[in-house]
Amino acid sequence: MSQDIFVDEQKKHFLARLQKQLVVILLVFFGVLMVVNLGVLTVVGTKGQELSGIRSEQESQKIKNDLLRSRYEALKVSSTIEKKAKDDLKMNQKDIRIIDVATAKVSAEK
């Protein structure tokens, strides 16, 4: 019986020591996490302005790319129409002569 009490005392002592060690380990772990978090925020926090600038540049570049893409599509459609007019409809390109009425001498006879 006394041996059982002795074993129970050893178990209690062991569990209490283990509990204290776990508490210390967890406190150290959370302390390290806080230090790492503070370090990351210090490094990245100073880059916030730079990141905002990069994001705005990306947005403006997306808009420019969309405009260029739409112009390209319009030119592609225009060239398709021109090809169809030449090949299918047998239309040819001709020079346009513009007559400026103000400078042209026009003689009309009655």
Query: Would you write out the chain's pLDDT as a tens digit for each of its 110 residues?
Result: 566 676 678 888 888 899 999 999 999 999 999 999 998 888 777 777 788 889 999 999 999 999 999 888 888 888 887 877 777 777 777 777 777 777 766 555 54
Predicted model pTM: 0.40
Separation between Cα atoms, residue 75 and residue 79, nearest integer Å = 6
Instruction: Give residue limits of the domains in the chain.
Output: 2-87
Q: Tokens representing 82? A: 């021109």
* DSSP code at position 66: H
Do 38 and 30 contact (CB within 8 A), yes or no? Answer: no
- Token digits of residue 10: 């050893």
